[in-house]
Amino acid sequence: MDRVIWLIILPLLTAFSLGLLKLYFKRYFNYIIIISSTVHIILAFVVANQAIKEPIVYNLGNWSPLLGITLVIDSFSALFLLAIVTLAYLVTIYAIKFIKRDKLKYHTLSLLLLTGAIGIVITGDLFNLYVFFEIVSISSYALAAINKDKESFEGAFKYLILGSISGILILLAIILIYQSTGTLNLAQAAVKFKEVPRNLKVTILTFYLIGFASKFALVPLHSYLADVYSKASVTFTALSSGIVLKTSLYALIRIVYILFGVEFIIDSGLQDILIYWGTLTFIAAHLLAYQQNSLRRLLGYSSIAHMGYIIMAFALANKGGIIAGSYHLTNHIVMKGALFLATGIFIYNLKDDQISKLKGIGKTLPYSSLIFTIAALAIIGLPPFNGFVSKWLIIKQVLEANYSIPAFLILIGSLLSLIYYLRVIKELYSKANDDKSLVKEPLILKLPALTLGLFCLLLSLLPSFAPKLLETLPEFLIKQNNYINLLLRR
């Protein structure tokens, strides 16, 4: 299916063509961005819809999967694909108005980031996964520093250092896999990996676990994230929280389930490690979020907390855990995207993200304040919003697996998030701000944020209107041989 490769080629080709297109068609630059992004999201929905019905395997150049590059989309990767492409599309529209300078650099880098993220999600090859991972990382470092001020450079430098270390660890894991199996095809490596000595498996797992966990910011590998988010553009923070963190988690989940298998996850103690690591992460991150005066830092720590919830669900290594984790992951992309884009409208007017400066702007900036409030209530986990449904599914699965203390602490974490988000909402709707200049809610900023806000309500119905999608998510994770047979055409 040739359309699959265009998921990668189209944003990559657009990224490298933008400079020339802007030179000759400067007046139409924004339209070019919108048209190319629209074509790409339509393509992604067509391909994902097909993959949900029947998994897609594409061998580049018709080479054997053992020799060439293989792209694979099953229902699990299709869900990721839809979520990240939708978020990227809405953020791209938002950025047309929000980004004031270095528009060419921003759109080029964001397209490269999207290219790498899609590559991570659909590749069936460990080395290409690493290449795409580095494309995402390098694009992220540059986007984090795009404001060109001291604080942005400082945050981006911390990001670069930790990201480089994580990249080295992941590369070491790949080298050890190749030395022990003689292949980098994930399916073939999984077949041969069963003969690898246990001590070597543990070493490889450790490299992967620390490498990827630092990218999706599990405590204590989280310290750089709030510094980056506090000074970077909200367009980047929305992409980072929704795409960079999530694709890093996706890569770890896919590798652990396919390469190591469910039995190893349970027998090795990895399940316990991830359950309690996730618990430590969300409790610590919620406590840190509670202390923040910067809204972007607060949202950054909140993102870290939710990565803890999601990793707990996937650590259960069962069908219910995968469904709950995938559902909450999708919800978090939407909820946090809405929060960041609403915050961007506040910053667009106030030139500041201090919570105390938000006092009374609920009346003068009604749409963005309403969007923020809806998304905040959703992410806290209050009914009838999507965050309540997915968080409840996680609690249910954790309790059924006899982890009663982590399940109880999820409720405590929700209470902490209720406290700090209500503090922000209270500021928004306190005594009205009489500043007549605070009335700028341009449609091009408002519409993407409003769309994500509406998704917070619509996604609460996902178990009802898309049960087939949710039910098939674990099929190519829990059943290791399903993925192996799919890639190797056995």
Query: Which of 31-40, 149-158, 297-306, 446-455 is least confident?
Result: 149-158
Q: What is the pLDDT of the chain when averaged over all its residues?
A: 90
- Asked if 107 and 16 touch (Cβ cutoff 8 Å), the reply is no
> How far is residue 140's CA from residue 162's CA, in Å, rounded to a whole number?
13
Token look-up 């106030």 returns 350
At residue 64, the pLDDT reads 65
At residue 158, the pLDDT reads 86
pLDDT exceeds 70 at position 385: yes
Q: Name every residue whose Cβ is closer than 8 Å to that of residue 486 and which is 6 or more positions away in sequence.
A: 55, 57, 72, 74, 187, 476
Residue 237, token pair as written in the block: 């923070």
3-state SS assignment for residue 70: strand
At residue 479, the pLDDT reads 84
Q: Give 79-106 pLDDT, tens digit per residue.
A: 999 999 999 999 999 999 998 888 899 9
At residue 138, the pLDDT reads 94
> How far is residue 401's CA from residue 362's CA, in Å, rounded to a whole number?
43
pLDDT exceeds 90 at position 458: no
At residue 169, the pLDDT reads 95
Q: Name every residue whose Cβ is closer than 8 Å to that of residue 119 and which is 6 or more positions away in sequence.
A: 8, 128, 129, 131, 132, 135
3-state SS assignment for residue 294: strand
pLDDT exceeds 60 at position 467: no
Token look-up 């543990």 returns 202
- Asked if 197 and 271 touch (Cβ cutoff 8 Å), the reply is no
- What's the mean pLDDT in 218-244? 88
- Asked if 132 and 112 touch (Cβ cutoff 8 Å), the reply is no
Q: Give 396-414 pLDDT, tens digit per residue.
A: 999 999 999 999 999 999 9
> How far is residue 482's CA from residue 461's CA, in Å, rounded to a whole number?
29
**Which residue blocks in 123-269 are alpha helix, DSSP H?**
126-144, 150-181, 186-193, 198-215, 223-231, 234-239, 245-255, 261-267
Q: Give 345-367 pLDDT, tens digit per residue.
A: 999 888 888 998 888 888 888 99
- Asked if 289 and 305 touch (Cβ cutoff 8 Å), the reply is yes
**Which residue blocks in 353-479 are alpha helix, DSSP H?**
361-364, 366-380, 386-400, 404-428, 443-458, 462-465, 467-472
- Asked if 97 and 448 touch (Cβ cutoff 8 Å), the reply is no
Q: Give 22-63 pLDDT, tens digit per residue.
A: 888 888 888 999 999 999 999 999 999 999 888 988 887 666
SS3 content of the chain, % helix, strand, coil (to 5): 80, 5, 15
Report the amino acid identity of residue 312. M
- What's the mean pLDDT in 471-478? 85
At residue 27, the pLDDT reads 85
- Helices vs. strands in the chain: H and E counts, helices first: 23, 2
Token look-up 């999201």 returns 41
> How far is residue 126's CA from residue 183's CA, in Å, rounded to a whole number?
9
Label residue 478 exposed, middle or buried (CB < 10 Å: 0-12, 13-18, 19+). Answer: middle
Query: Which of 92-96, 332-336, 383-387 is least confident?
Result: 383-387
- What's the mean pLDDT in 246-257? 94
At residue 409, the pLDDT reads 96
- What's the mean pLDDT in 300-326? 94
pLDDT exceeds 60 at position 436: no
Q: What CA–CA distances, in Å, run from 19 to 10, 23, 91, 108?
A: 15, 6, 20, 8
CB-CB neighbours of 103 under 10 Å = 16
pLDDT exceeds 90 at position 311: yes
Token look-up 């919620």 returns 286
Residues of the chain with pLDDT > 70: what percent?
95
At residue 466, the pLDDT reads 59
At residue 122, the pLDDT reads 94
CA atoms within 13 A on the CB side of 402: 2
- Asked if 447 and 365 touch (Cβ cutoff 8 Å), the reply is no
Count how many domains the chain has: 1
Residue 240, token pair as written in the block: 């980072």
> How far is residue 114's CA from residue 139's CA, in Å, rounded to a whole number?
9
> How far is residue 408's CA from residue 400's CA, in Å, rounded to a whole number?
13
> How far is residue 279's CA from residue 401's CA, in Å, rounded to a whole number?
15
- What's the mean pLDDT in 439-450? 88
Residue 64, token pair as written in the block: 């054997």
Element (H, E) at 218: none
- What's the mean pLDDT in 238-249? 93
- What's the mean pLDDT in 318-324? 92
Residue 443 belongs to what domain range? 3-488
- What's the mean pLDDT in 112-127? 94
pTM tops 0.85: yes
At residue 350, the pLDDT reads 86
